[in-house]
């Protein structure tokens, strides 16, 4: 298993894992989901947001505020550890970070237009940015783009906790059995993986490899169950022998999907809000 704890989250062998699929700025649904989880969450459980909490939907900033508020509520409970709550990087978070470095792109206008069409426009506008200003800055060159992205960074810094949250995003999370545990571990990702590459070298496959997820029919490496929060079809909530998909179609006419799982990927409860 990977040992880089800056990129991957080792969940240990928890009692249960609460996994939350793509949220896409649906703050009201997320708040209702948090209210559902809070009285049921027990010491020894883990909570994993599977990425794509922002983008597409109506309230990306309020969604981050709700996540931070819920995290504080959870950590106020005796015995809770910071490592019990994990945030994965999804396609929306990845695009947002790339947008903040747009001045380094060889074709910034093309990249920005593509990202705007993928839903990053909602996050951009929430932080006070305007797509037309970004496109104009891209036409003018790297200096103007740097000034534009710096203004966005300052807007993020003015939102308490937002910058810090973006710095702790993980690429994947996994459970680790103790020597006495006979069960196999579970892997949680944002969208997918490249089944032909080792976990440590996946790179962009975590947020752009959704199409390979359906090809997993016998586990991956030593993981017998893989869990994701975003599908290539925009909505996919299902649990099979080796895969669990939690894409309820949030901000695309659907809802937020989540699950309570055993450490080896057994489904205790699967729900949509």
Residue 26 has pLDDT above 90, yes or no: yes
In this predicted structure, what is the pLDDT of residue 211? 83
CB 156, CB 163: distance < 8 Å: yes
One domain for residues 180 and 147: no
Q: Does the residue 2 lie in any domain?
A: no
Mark whether 105 and 206 lie in a shared domain. Answer: no
Residue 4 pLDDT grade (very low, low, confident, very high; cuts 50, 70, 90) = low
Look up the domain containing 27 and give its range: 8-90+169-272
Quick one: 138 and 205 in the same domain?
A: no
- Give pLDDT, residue 148: 98
Q: Is the pLDDT of residue 181 over 70?
A: no
What are 106-154's pLDDT values in tens digits? 999 999 999 999 999 999 999 999 999 999 999 999 999 999 999 999 9
Question: Does 3 map to a domain?
Answer: no
The predicted pLDDT at position 1 comes to: 60
Report pLDDT for 6.
Answer: 83
* pLDDT of the residue at 2: 61
Beta strands in 137-256 (DSSP E): 172-174, 186-188, 225-228, 236-239, 243-247
Mean pLDDT calculated for residue range 43-66 = 97
The per-residue pLDDT for 272 is 96
Domain count, the chain: 2
Alpha-carbon gap, residue 238 to 115, rounded angstroms: 28
pLDDT digits (tens, 9 = 90+) for 254-271: 999 999 999 999 999 999
Q: Are residues 23 and 133 in the same domain?
A: no
* Residue tagged 């928890």 (tokens): 14
Q: Are residues 228 and 257 in the same domain?
A: yes
Spatial separation of the C-alpha atoms in residues 155 and 230, rounded to whole Å? 28
* Mean of pLDDT values over 64-84: 97
Domain contains 246: yes
pLDDT for 112: 97
Looking at the domain assignment, is residue 1 inside a domain?
A: no
Nearest C-alpha neighbor of 188 from the set 229, 217, 218, 235:
229
Same domain (yes/no): 44, 122? no
Write down the pLDDT at residue 214. 79
Residue that finishes a domain, picked among 134, 162, 190: 162
Residues 79 and 103 in one domain: no
pLDDT of residue 3: 55
Neighbour count for residue 107 (Cβ, 10 Å) = 10
Query: Residues 188, 251: one domain?
Result: yes
Q: Are residues 107 and 238 in the same domain?
A: no
Q: What number of other Cβ atoms are within 10 A of residue 44's Cβ?
A: 13
């Amino acid at each position: 298993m990977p040992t880089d704890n800056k990129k991957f989250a080792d969940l240990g062998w928890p009692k249960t894992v609460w996994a939350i699929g793509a949220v896409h700025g649906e703050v009201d649904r997320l708040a209702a989901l948090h209210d559902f989880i809070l009285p049921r969450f027990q010491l020894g459980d883990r909570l994993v947001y599977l990425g794509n909490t922002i983008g597409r939907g109506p309230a990306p900033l309020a969604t981050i505020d709700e996540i931070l508020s819920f995290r504080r509520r959870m950590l106020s409970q005796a015995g809770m550890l910071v490592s019990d709550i994990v945030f994965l990087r999804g396609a929306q978070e990845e695009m947002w970070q790339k947008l903040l470095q747009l001045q380094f792109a060889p074709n910034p206008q093309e990249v920005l237009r593509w990202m705007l069409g993928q839903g990053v426009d909602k996050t951009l506008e929430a932080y006070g940015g305007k797509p037309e200003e970004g496109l104009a800055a891209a036409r003018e060159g790297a200096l103007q783009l740097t000034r534009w992205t710096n203004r966005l960074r300052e807007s993020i810094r003015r939102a308490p906790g937002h910058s810090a949250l973006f710095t702790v995003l993980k690429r994947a999370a996994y459970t680790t059995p103790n020597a006495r545990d006979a069960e196999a571990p579970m892997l949680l990702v944002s969208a997918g993986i490249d089944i032909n590459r080792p976990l440590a070298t996946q790179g962009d496959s975590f947020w752009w490899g959704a199409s390979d997820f359906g090809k997993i029919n016998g586990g991956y490496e030593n993981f017998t169950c893989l869990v994701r929060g975003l599908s290539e079809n925009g909505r996919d909530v299902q649990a099979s022998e080796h895969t669990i998909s939690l894409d309820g179609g949030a901000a695309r006419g659907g809802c937020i999907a989540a699950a309570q799982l055993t450490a080896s990927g057994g489904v205790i409860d699967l729900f949509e809000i």
